[in-house]
Chains A and B, each alone.
Chain A
């Protein structure tokens, strides 16, 4: 078991390392920060000084090595725009992001899971078809389109809610709803198919045959089993609490990590982009590890060293 945890931990670190390396190379090959941050018409000496100041004149491999050595010391670099530590810039945006992603996450769970369960239990009914159509819609409509539609209806036409900004709690409503509905659609589909899969299993028939009323069959024998695959997707959603709102934050001018990422990429503010990616990768990897641990907890078949005994 200890070896298992160690190997999973190592794999997680390697994943993060690969993400960072990839981002490092791509960012450095895709544009010169000096030109973007100063301006293409800046005097050549100024550009040269800028590159020298940020170490951009060194060979790529030295920059790369230096970058990881710094990380090892807890130094994530400075923003090229204002010289502040990149990690501070990122951390101060997190509360704003969580202010919309956490309520949206709750919305996804509260709508998506019950809707999926209900649809599965009433398979092929009118309500099932309605839930599934809405879900397909939520699945396929990109979040910026949904966001814009909501803005048109609730901000422009009805004038009930502000269309963008962050000066009052009301400003958070449309971003939360946009994020929440999209995720609820995904979760509803997922939960429904997990439930349908479980409801077709022989042990459900056994549970009915032993005399349990249907409600108890569902609560004691279908829901716990359907939770196993559903936990994966929920874990994925937890992992994207920090980074999952890039589009929505941009649409609604919400000052979170996502918008910081967009502007940092546009400006080639390398240290900031990399600090965000590090954070995102760390969240994803951690939530993956947690999902794995949860799996073992809900599914006893995975607990005993992943062996399945067969035979007479």
Chain B
């Protein structure tokens, strides 16, 4: 993976308009009762036939109704796996621990059928590569209608009318024509709009958007993000936006979680995170972002590479790349601690930085 990739310098980063988050809401208090989704101590290991390779080491996070959170981190840090595990979409080779609760109900008690009813209906998910995320042999209309009949019980003409409404909702021109198109006949941006329309069919409480714009070019990225923002405002659904790109996150999210090597290393209100990043890793990510006011400033990328899962150093996983690390950092894995009411950091040195 290239350095550019990890600091979020895809073409889209150029569209960032400064770091002030759109809406600044208070951070969700730990343990508050009104969480829509709460993930606690989530661990995932993959069984590769010989051994278990741990990729998540205990993720805690919470999303309240209507809230938008951003999840950032380098490729491979476990952003996707977190949500795929929560929705039980990882397949048999994944060993999952910890709890995920929806409206206070622990989901590991749910049967497979109950999980299927949650997917798309309460928690919908869209993915990075819209072109391959739609089935190439079925028409757009059929794939949309499938979701509509599943979640709303509509069929025939009623389903078609709803499909048209949804395509219109995501600003797809000529929706009538698009219904009979195949995914390969649409552009990546259009396919991602179709994915969003499909996700909206279930009127979910939470939409997990897993790098929804990474595969698209810059102008399309901005359009899709605008669409997500607009839908979130109109529908009041919560949004979990996964991205490599801090700029994108800054633009839409109330809160941000920074992940590194299968752990959350910093969680804060967006404004606080961008103003006073507490973790050396977050500081490195921010330092590497291009600054629109001074476009020629040298970028400071974080030295070193992400350790592979299963080959983490003891203690803090970031210590080998960290300018502030010392012997204490090798002793134990730092837990998330509050440095402020709305700001948690997993770093022994957080207070002195």
Contacts and interface: CB of A to CB of B under 8 A. Distances in A.
Interface string B195-218: 100110110000000000000110
Given A304-B185, A312-B217, A211 B121 contact: yes
Interface residues of B, number: 43
A170 interface: no
Interface string B101-134: 0000000000011001111110011010100111
Interface stretch (A41-49, A99-107, A200-208): A200-208
B119 A308 contact: no
A99 B182 CA distance: 42
Given A211-B116, A214-B112, A309-B184, A205 B146 contact: no
Nearest to B123: A209
B147 A312 contact: no
A213 B135 contact: no
Given A202-B132, A209-B125, A210-B119, A312 B137 contact: no
- SS of A interface (majority): helix
Given A221-B135, A300-B184, A312-B216, A210 B112 contact: no
Interface string A182-212: 0000000000000000000111011111111
Contact of A300 (B89, B182, B187): B182
A83 interface: no
Given A214-B112, A300-B182, A309-B184, A207 B137 contact: no
Contacts of A211: 116-121, 147, 150-151, 202
Contacts of B119: 208-211
A220 interface: yes
B219 interface: yes
B160 to A, nearest CB: 18
B86 to A, nearest CB: 11
Interface in A263-312: 298-301, 304, 308-312
Contacts of A310: 187-188
Nearest to A122: B92
Contacts, number: 98
Interface string B138-153: 1100000011001100
B78 interface: no
B9 interface: no
Contacts of A311: 187-188, 217
B189 interface: yes
Given A208-B89, A213-B113, A312-B217, A202 B150 contact: no
B125 to A, nearest CB: 5
Given A209-B127, A213-B116, A309-B185, 10 more contacts: A206-B195, A208-B116, A209-B120, A210-B124, A211-B150, A212-B116, A213-B113, A214-B112, A300-B137, A301-B184
7 contacts: A202-B127, A209-B87, A210-B198, A213-B116, A221-B135, A224-B138, A312-B187
